[in-house]
Amino acid sequence: MKRWRKILLISLVMVSMVLLQGCPGGGLIDSYRLISGDIKQYEKAEFEIIVNTQYVNAYDQDEVMLDMILTTPLGEDLILPCYFERNSGEQQSLWKARFAAAEVGSYSYYFKLTQADMSLSSAKSTFEVSGSSSDGFLHVNDFWTLKFDSGKPFRGIGENVGWESRNYENPKHTYDYLLPTLSENGANFFRTWMCAWDLPIEWPKVSKHTDRYTDSDAYFHPQGIQRMDELVDMIDSLDLYMMLAMNTHGPLIDGGGWENYRYNTANGGPAETPTDFFTNEDARKMSKNKFRFLVARWGYSTHIGAWEFFNEIDNSVFTRTPHDSIRIPHEHVTAWHEEMSNYIKSIDPYGHIVTTSVSHREIDGMFDVKNIDIAQRHIYKKTEQIPALTNQYAEEYGKPFVWGEFGYEWDWNLDFSTIAEESDYDYKRGLWYGLFNPTPILPMTWWWEFFDDRNMTPYFQSVRMISDMMLAAGDGAFKPVAVASIGLEAYSVKCGEKIFVGVLNSQTERLQSDLVMDLRVGSYDIKRFNPDDRSFITNGSIAAGESGLVIPKVSLQSWDEMIYILTPKK
């Protein structure tokens, strides 16, 4: 008798689910509406959805998921995660969807609610999308450039703005000051962190070194969410592209924040050790909850240039702690990156670039993961090695490679005023090394406050001018041209029909040398560009011969640089 009662109960539940799925949301999706104005291509369209249920933790995918299911004008089906805003009223919750349409025309859509092994759908509706001047989202292209949806090539030029000033740092160094300053001076890219003192979205306990945020019991930090909203609005308006480091290595190291990390069992999390962060199933679900929220709330922004899983994960892997008797095994870190990169690609309808980074030590197989689009390392005290290593790593990894951080010095305990001039030149040459070598994002200095205080930011204007000329001349195509000199450093690329030559004097005395390029035919008009004052000087013309194309008697002062632009004579 009990067996038949169980069968009857299961049958009634199945019938109820069928009936619910035939209704608009099965009565659970009460209503939805577009709350933004006319929808334009690649601009944010925001929808508000009312659900007739409240949740204990609506950010937990095991409890509930709400998705927007779209069909594009060309017939492609898209799934957009929606995000929970708050419980409202007595028995309702407010959700939102933020969507950026890549196509012009008519979209159809509905909302799908998944909970307790049930999947319930709303009625369908439509909206129209008109055109805009936006180029869309960034994607990988080749070793030299990224490209927009429009096909337009892009090279990132900028620096790290790792965080906003802490209590003991210069209070002017906030996003509100630093990012407009970068944009005004020609930079188009920057990198920043989510951490305990900056954008602490998943940090209930924030750093004692910031008054910008306070501790919160919320699953995702309300103040961190608000600041991220403001930051994304800001970069959209400034036309700056952001690499967002969503984890840092510090919380997986004793003394670096593990004691406050939400994944730690001491704070109610599922991970007893840093290794458990990568291997524990519930810990991995927590990471996916975060990535889903980030995509749902901010994925619409065309100015999120890349999701970065970790800043310098090798500094966790190679550090022993009292919590782990051995260092974190490489295979666990690589498997985590494979799982998370597959996951974020599956929920991100825009196809944002995905990366992760190491300081200087290899994690076995990590950069071989298919959905890690860009390999990334950091380099300090070895800037002169950037040209050779850039080419080496691009070939080794078989995918675009970037230097996410570089600097003349890494030790923040030193008095940087004693190495100011050396650091200034190092800052300049790192940018030129990037411009003339195969990397889609030029090396980004770490010491943003120091270089702002030294008024170095205007130097980005010089690099941006030459970069724009290169992209325009070759429509994003770069072909290295061998160039030789005595004493001076020289690098050359051909973009379309134009040839660009970068010359640096890294020595402590004035040097003069001919530049000999591996070209045997053609005549060219020459212009010389001085990066310090952004002036162009015409230098006549030269013709190639049996010994190559020679720019004679190039003379540079110590720690100086010059750019030559060769245009074929008509």
Residue that finishes a domain, picked among 428, 449, 470: 449
Do both 66 and 177 map to the same domain? no
Residues 194 and 339 in one domain: yes
Q: Which residues is 377 bridged to in the sheet? A: 358, 403
Is residue 145 within 8 A of residue 155, CB to CB? The reply is: yes
Per-residue pLDDT of 407-430, as tens digits, reads 999 998 999 999 999 999 999 999
Residues 74 and 166 in one domain: no
3-state secondary structure of 383: helix
Identify the pLDDT of residue 2. Answer: 39
pLDDT of residue 20: 34
315 within 8 A of 357, measured Cβ to Cβ: no
CATH number, residue 53: 2.60.40.10
Q: Measure the CA–CA gap between 431 and 462, rounded to whole angstroms.
A: 10
Say how many C-beta atoms besides its own lie within 10 A of residue 322's C-beta.
8
Strands in 205-273 per DSSP E: 241-245
Q: What is the DSSP letter of 322?
A: T
Distance CA 50, CA 451 (A): 48
* Parent domain of 217: 138-449
Cβ-based neighbours of 284, under 8 Å, separated by 6 or more: 278, 336, 339, 340
Three-state SS sequence of 55-68: CCCCCCCCCCEEEE
CB 409 within 8 A of CB 430: no
| pLDDT of the residue at 125 | 97
Write out the DSSP string of 447-489: -HHHHHHTT-TTHHHHHHHHHHHHHHHHTT--EE--EE-SSSE
Rounded to the nearest 5 percent, the helix, strand and coil shares of the chain are: 30, 30, 40
Mark whether 126 and 149 lie in a shared domain.
no
User: Per the domain annotation, does 118 fall within a domain?
Assistant: yes
Look at residue 6 in the predicted model and tell me its pLDDT: 37
Measured CA to CA, the distance from residue 464 to residue 320 in angstroms comes to: 43
Within a domain: residue 472?
A: no
Q: Are residues 122 and 145 in the same domain?
A: no
**Statement to judge: residues 407 and 534 lie in one domain:** no
State which H helix or E strand residue 48 sits in: strand 44-51
- Residue 564's identity, in one-letter code, is Y
Residue 460 located in a structural domain: no
For residue 521, give the CATH number of its domain. 2.60.40.1180
* Residue 466 domain-assigned (yes or no): no
Instruction: Give the pLDDT of residue 257.
Output: 82
Q: Are 254 and 321 in contact (CB under 8 A)?
A: yes
Specify the CATH number for the domain of residue 435.
Answer: 3.20.20.80
Residues 224 and 267 occupy one common structural domain? yes
Cα–Cα separations (whole angstroms), residue 464 to 74, 143, 565? 37, 19, 15
Is 223 a member of any domain?
yes
Mark which of 96, 130, 164 sits at the end of a domain: 130
* Residue 465 covered by a domain: no
Q: Are residues 319 and 443 in the same domain?
A: yes
Q: What is the pLDDT of residue 13?
A: 35
514 contacts 480 by C-beta, under 8 angstroms = no
Domains held by the chain: number = 3
With tokens 């402590």, the residue in question is 508
Distance CA(18)–CA(382), nearest Å, equals 65
Backbone φ and ψ for 253, nearest 5 degrees, come out as -125, 135
CB 199 within 8 A of CB 188: no
Q: Give one DSSP letter per residue of 58-121, joined into a string.
A: TT-TTT-EEEEEEE-TTS-EEEEE-EEEEEETTTEEEEEEEEE-SSSEEEEEEEEEEETTEEEE
Are 360 and 424 in a shared domain? yes
| 137, HSE (Cβ side, Cα atoms, 13 Å) | 24
The amino acid occupying position 103 is E
The DSSP secondary-structure symbol of 324 reads B
Which amino acid, residue 400?
P
The SS3 of residue 549 is: strand
Q: How far apart are CA 71 and CA 77, in angstroms?
A: 5
Residue 462, in any domain of the structure:
no
Considering the domain boundaries, does residue 490 fall inside one?
Answer: yes
In this structure, are residues 519 and 495 in contact, taking their beta carbons and an 8 Å threshold? no
φ, ψ at 349 (rounded to 5°): -70, -5
**Strand 118-121 to 29-34 pairing:** unpaired
Tokens standing for 537?
Answer: 């000087």
Q: Which of 70, 101, 130 is the last residue of a domain?
A: 130
Q: How far apart are CA 183 and CA 460, in angstroms?
A: 9
E strand or H helix at 158, and its extent? strand 158-160
CB < 8 Å & 24+ apart, contacts of 266-270: 267/204, 267/205
The 3-state DSSP class for residue 286 equals helix
Q: What token pair was written down for 543?
A: 């013709």
Print the SS3 string covering 134-156: CCCCEEECCCCCEEECCCCEECE
Task: Kindly give the confidence (pLDDT) of every residue in the chain, 570 residues in length, as a single tens digit, with 9 standing for 90 and above.
Answer: 434 343 333 333 333 333 333 344 457 999 999 999 999 999 999 999 999 999 999 999 999 999 999 999 999 999 999 999 999 888 999 999 999 999 999 999 999 999 988 999 999 999 999 999 999 999 999 999 999 999 999 999 999 999 999 999 999 999 999 999 999 999 999 999 999 999 999 998 999 999 999 999 999 999 999 999 999 999 999 999 999 999 999 899 876 788 889 999 998 999 999 999 999 999 999 999 999 999 999 999 999 999 999 999 999 998 865 555 558 999 999 999 999 999 999 999 999 999 999 999 999 999 999 999 999 999 999 999 999 999 999 999 999 999 999 999 999 899 999 999 999 999 999 999 999 999 999 999 999 999 999 999 999 999 999 999 999 999 999 999 999 999 999 999 999 999 999 999 999 999 999 999 999 999 999 999 999 999 999 989 999 999 999 999 999 999 999 999 999 998
Cβ neighbours of residue 97 under 8 Å, at least 6 residues apart? 46, 47, 49, 68, 80, 82, 83, 111, 296
The torsion angles phi and psi of 70, rounded to 5 degrees, stand at: -120, 150
| Residue 6 sits in the same domain as residue 150 | no
Please indicate, yes or no, whether residues 119 and 152 belong to a single structural domain of this protein: no
Contact between residue 148 and residue 476 where contact means Cβ atoms under 8 Å apart: no
- With contact defined as beta carbons under 8 Å apart, do 95 and 86 qualify? no
Based on the fold, state whether residues 243 and 96 are members of the same structural domain.
no
